[in-house]
Amino acid sequence: MFIITVSRQTASGGDEVAELLAEKLGVELISREYVINNWLPEVTNKHQLHMLKESPKFYNKQSQTGETFAEYIENRLKEKTAEDSFIILGLGSQIIFATTPAALHVRIIASEKSRIQKLQKNYGLQKEQAERSLELSDRKHRKYVWRIYEQDWSEPHLYHLCVNMDGFAVEEAVNQIIYLQEQHKNRPGSRPLKQTGTEQETEDEDKNENNRVFAHPSEKEFAQILNMHNIEWEFEPTEFPLEWDAEGNISLGFRPDFYLTQHDTYIELTTLKQEYVTEKNKKVRLLQKLYPEVNIKIVYKKDFQSIIERFGV
């Protein structure tokens, strides 16, 4: 049995490395998302689960089992890894399994420049927005490990291998990690690794890019009105990270419907039910707070009808 723990800086490519590692090695990936969906609901109520998604501090609170939530996760991880091999992404696992002989601890980093570029590309953010998002996310990552284990997650001695992803493909990094794991397969408790193929990823990404369509007829109508006025637009080009989970992963994002390129303005149409409007308003307020330089306008149902009345043909 083996464990590979993967710690990563935001937008360094660490998530992709962990996913591909799990896929190639044919083992399960345990991430924060996995823990939140599969383990924590057993010992939390709705409020506690919400707090655990948001606050690193809350992991030191006592759960129904008498343990703190952090201890509960740690024990579940230990139980699970006693039976089989796993890739563990985050969760302070480099510290939980620091002395486990069969564990290999990997840290994935990348230059700030390339991480900002990645956030810009993935979420369509402006440079200043990406810098801000990175700052907030890194802060959360650091805070989680510090609050629970009182250790600085960036300390090199916590890891066997640190991979700088600058100019390094995900597959190259994964191959290096597998090679290192192979070299140590004779450790007590460890066993040879099996590999499985991976071919689907890039194909799926292209498919998503090409299949972009309007989700609602109002979006199509609005696009036609913009075209009519020769206003250049992009559809949903940017997703703004709005909230991060306790570990620093983006847990809530907001992708406004339109970006008017020449006016540097985002437009969100809220022509649906009132319950969605409240949610959208909340997101817009949060966006304006986190990214004050972003221009965003909401078009409510009534506004939209009036625009259609005036400009629709």
- Per residue, the 3-state secondary structure of the chain, as one string, reads CCEEEEEECCCCCHHHHHHHHHHHHCCEEECHHHHHHHCHHHCCCHHHHHHHHHCHHHHHCECCCCCEHHHHHHHHHHHHHHHCCEEEECCCHHHHCCCCCCEEEEEEECCHHHHHHHHHHHHCCCHHHHHHHHHHHHHHHHHHHHHHHCCCCCCHHHCCEEEECCCCCHHHHHHHHHHHHHHCCCCCCCCCCCCCCCCCHHHHHHHHHHCCCCCCHHHHHHHHHHHHCCCCEEECCCCEEEEECCCCCEEEEECCCEEEHHHCEEEEEECCCHHHHHHHHHHHHHHHHHCCCCEEEEEEHHHHHHHHHHHCC
Of the candidates 43, 297, 301, 305, which one interacts with other proteins according to CB under 8 A? 297
When binding is defined by CB under 8 A, the residue of 46, 47, 113, 229 that contacts other proteins is 229
> Considering the rule CB under 8 A, would residue 299 count as an interface residue with other proteins?
yes
Report if residue 36 touches other proteins, rule: CB under 8 A. Answer: no
Q: Which stretch binds other proteins (CB under 8 A): 37-45, 190-198, 206-214, 262-270?
A: 262-270
Among 1, 98, 162, 231, binds other proteins (CB under 8 A): 231
Q: Does 313 bind other proteins (CB under 8 A)?
A: yes
206/264 with CB nearer other proteins? 264
Query: Among 32-40, 55-63, 119-127, 229-237, which window interacts with other proteins (CB under 8 A)?
Result: 229-237
Q: List binders of other proteins among 125-154 (CB under 8 A).
A: none
Q: Which of 26, 101, 189, 312 binds other proteins (CB under 8 A)?
A: 312
Q: Which is nearer to other proteins, 46 or 302 (CB)?
A: 302
Residues that bind other proteins (CB under 8 A): 224-231, 260, 263-265, 267, 295, 297, 299-300, 302-303, 306-307, 311-313
